[in-house]
Amino acid sequence: MHDQDPSTFGEFGEFDPSPEPPAAHAKVLRDELVAAAEWAARYLSELPQGPVARPLPAQLRSRLRAGQLPQRGGELGEVLDFVRDEIAPYPTGNGHPAFFAWVNSPPAPAGIVADLLACAVNATCGMGENALMDLERGTVRMLADLAGLPDSAGGVLTSGGSMANLLALATARTWFLTRRGSADGPAYDRDHARLTLYYSAQAHMSVAKAAACVGLPAHRLRPVATDPHDRLDPAALRAAVTADLDAGLLPFCTVTTLGTTATGAVDPLEPVTDLCRSAGMWHHADGAWGGLGASVPALAPHYAGVGGVDSLTVDPHKTLSVPVGCGALLVPDPEHLHTAFAHQASYLTAGEPDALPWLSHATIELTRPGTRALALWATLHHLGRDGVTGLIEHYLALAAELRERITAEPRLQLLSGGPWPVACFRITDPYGNAPDALHTRVARRVQDNGRAYLATVAVHGRTVLRAALCNYRTTTDDLDLLIREVLHAAER
Ligand SMILES: *Cc1c(COP(=O)(O)O)cnc(C)c1O
């Protein structure tokens, strides 16, 4: 796209290195950054006019998968050409305002700018003190405040909610065994084999996956029954813990969910914290979607007691539209993270004796991207506290509108859900129960038509259509479009 003269390759140009290092002439780099920025701005502004998603041509798919590295390097300008022609036309669709599947947001404008700048700075938020690492400590504080955790709270940013849940279970396990004096030795072997984990039957699958990663077998996992509103039933939890204690097992942690994936339910927090305290268990709350609900007046009543949890997952790349790759684990007492993760090495020692622990001492990762902290800071700074509340309230209002439209449409049947902004619904069948397969087919047809996008989920044993509201570009026109598309797909 742009010619570049290899003899002027940055500061390395003079000694004719072979192969050429990846430096670029300052003017070439500048031109490419400007071209990329102009393209990205146009792409984002034109995105709503195009289809939500389109099928990837088979030839392109094979080419992308082949992974053949050419012998000679290419030109810088080819990156933009490649993205424009071969990647951007085939997205998941979550940038589009008519995308309603899963909980996948579009990127926030401030986050897009910040991601680029953070890449240029390329600070690692793992070791060594630098401004971005302090910014990460600060953004973690902002999240903790929004979540309603105490002033003492700290934590780390992660790649997402799954990684945060994994850190939480590893931390809970270390905390529990350390308190029993069985963090190592024969006592470890004896106790670890008896660790038992509780979570609601509506919990995200990443919780069971995290349990497997920390070495808990499936028969030490206890999915607990939920009430008619899909919330964990504290009485059922208490019964399960009591039975396991009687059987000589070691209940060590309960995971509540704030914003369940299927219907957006919030588990009761205070009764679970009470039980955890009395049974010596850790209370982890998985708020990947709904962790910041305490900052929204309409949701706050569901969050009574949130400050009493031992750890909390939040996913700024869901609720806040921070570009993908930004989750967080928040803990009222950050020392628990250091007990679990601060492994020492001669080549990694903090300089000042009174320095804060590096962030690598609070997580699994050592070299960690500064993009998370900067994109999170930029997004929060652009929104402000009022903007965060306003954004979530906007999604709640859209969900209420969508539920109204579904209720008003005789060919659709709304199922109960919430308080998080989701609508689960089924096709009305005057002759009886519309089969599950019909709903799977309808979702697929809507996806294939490319004008809107939604997915199915199982609720109380039935397949239902599910629309999540987490796109700040979605308008009521998109809600009307979704209903039209579903009805059209159901008619065929
Ligand atoms: C999305 C989600 C996760 C997983 O988060 P990722 O960022 O996708 O890894 C975990 N728990 C809940 C409740 C979620 O909604």
User: What DSSP element (H or E) covers 491?
Assistant: helix 476-491
CATH number of the CATH domain containing 423? 3.90.1150.170
Average pLDDT, integer, range 184-197 = 97
Within a domain: 108: no
* The residue to which tokens 């942690």 are assigned: 253
How far apart are the CA of 420 and the centre of ligand 1, in A?
A: 14
Q: Is the CB of 485 under 6 A from ligand 1?
A: no
pLDDT for residue 350 is more than 80? no
CA angle 156, 298, 471 (to 5 degrees): 60
DSSP characters over 16-77:
--SSPPS---HHHHHHHHHHHHHHHHHHHHHGGGS-S--PPPHHHHHHHHH-PPPSS---TT
pLDDT for residue 17 is more than 60? no
At 33-62, the pLDDT tens digits run 999 999 999 999 999 999 999 999 999 999
Within a domain: 350: yes
| 405 in the same domain as 361 | no
Within a domain: 84: no
| 139 in the same domain as 19 | no
| 371 in the same domain as 393 | no
At 308-336, the pLDDT tens digits run 999 999 999 999 999 999 999 999 999 99
How far apart are the CA of 492 and the centre of ligand 1, in A?
A: 34
At 400-441, the pLDDT tens digits run 999 999 999 999 999 999 999 999 999 998 666 789 999 999
d(C-alpha 166, C-alpha 148), whole Å: 22
CA angle 310, 313, 314 (to 5 degrees): 135
Q: Is the CB of 264 under 6 A from ligand 1?
A: no
Q: Specify the amino acid at residue 342.
A: A
Residue 351 has a pLDDT of 63
Cβ neighbour number for residue 357 with a 10 Å cutoff: 15
The domain boundary residue, chosen from 344, 360, 383: 383
| 305 in the same domain as 419 | no
CATH number of the CATH domain containing 318? 3.40.640.10
The domain tally of the chain equals 3
Within a domain: 4: no
Residue 234 has a pLDDT of 98
pLDDT for residue 3 is more than 90? no
Asked if residue 35 lies in contact with residue 76, where contact means CB atoms within 8 angstroms, the answer is: no
Domain hosting residue 291, numbered range: 115-383
Q: Is the CB of 303 under 6 A from ligand 1?
A: no
Q: Is the CB of 290 under 6 A from ligand 1?
A: no
| 427 in the same domain as 359 | no
At 250-275, the pLDDT tens digits run 999 999 999 999 999 999 999 999 99
Average pLDDT, integer, range 177-205 = 97
Q: Is the CB of 124 under 6 A from ligand 1?
A: no
Q: Is the CB of 202 under 6 A from ligand 1?
A: no
Q: Is the CB of 103 under 6 A from ligand 1?
A: yes
| 274 in the same domain as 130 | yes
At 70-127, the pLDDT tens digits run 999 999 999 999 999 999 999 999 999 999 999 999 999 999 999 999 999 998 998 8
- H runs (alpha helix) in 324-369: 335-341
Within a domain: 86: no
What is the position in ligand 1's atom list of the atom closest to the CA of 289?
15
pLDDT for residue 4 is more than 50? no
Average pLDDT, integer, range 205-215 = 98
Q: What is the mean pLDDT of the chain?
A: 93
Contacts of 170 by beta carbon, 8 Å cutoff, 6+ apart: 210, 213, 214, 340, 341, 364
Residue 433 has a pLDDT of 74
Q: Is the CB of 321 under 6 A from ligand 1?
A: no
How far apart are the CA of 452 and the centre of ligand 1, in A?
A: 23
Higher pLDDT, 38 or 2: 38
Q: Is the CB of 199 under 6 A from ligand 1?
A: no
How far apart are the CA of 18 and the centre of ligand 1, in A?
A: 45
Q: Is the CB of 94 under 6 A from ligand 1?
A: no
Task: Using most ligand atoms within 8 A of CB, pick from 162, 263, 326 the residue to mutate for ligand 1.
Answer: 162
β-pair partners for 158: 327
| 327 in the same domain as 460 | no
Within a domain: 375: yes
What is the position in ligand 1's atom list of the atom closest to the CA of 317?
7
CA angle 11, 124, 13 (to 5 degrees): 10
Q: What percent of the chain has pLDDT over 70?
A: 94
Residue 20 has a pLDDT of 61
Task: Using most ligand atoms within 8 A of CB, pick from 260, 267, 318, 466 the residue to mutate for ligand 1.
Answer: 318
Residue 347 has a pLDDT of 73
At 222-253, the pLDDT tens digits run 999 999 999 999 999 999 999 999 999 999 99
| 289 in the same domain as 337 | yes
For the sheet with 250-257, list strands across it. Answer: 154-158, 327-331, 311-314, 282-287, 250-257, 195-200, 221-224
The domain boundary residue, chosen from 330, 359, 383: 383
| 120 in the same domain as 36 | no
How far apart are the CA of 96 and the centre of ligand 1, in A?
A: 20
Q: Is the CB of 372 under 6 A from ligand 1?
A: no
| 389 in the same domain as 349 | no
| 428 in the same domain as 361 | no
| 438 in the same domain as 393 | yes
At 129-142, the pLDDT tens digits run 899 999 999 999 99
Shortest-distance Cα residue to atom 2 of ligand 1: 288
How far apart are the CA of 314 and the centre of ligand 1, in A?
A: 9
Q: Is the CB of 289 under 6 A from ligand 1?
A: yes
Within a domain: 140: yes
Within a domain: 1: no
Q: Which segment of 202-211, 337-346, 445-454 scores lowest on mean pLDDT?
A: 337-346
How far apart are the CA of 252 and the centre of ligand 1, in A?
A: 22
Q: Is the CB of 257 under 6 A from ligand 1?
A: yes
What is the position in ligand 1's atom list of the atom closest to the CA of 258?
13
Asked if residue 121 lies in contact with residue 132, where contact means CB atoms within 8 angstroms, the answer is: yes
The domain boundary residue, chosen from 362, 383, 404: 383
How far apart are the CA of 374 and the centre of ligand 1, in A?
A: 21
Task: Using most ligand atoms within 8 A of CB, pick from 157, 286, 395 the residue to mutate for ligand 1.
Answer: 286
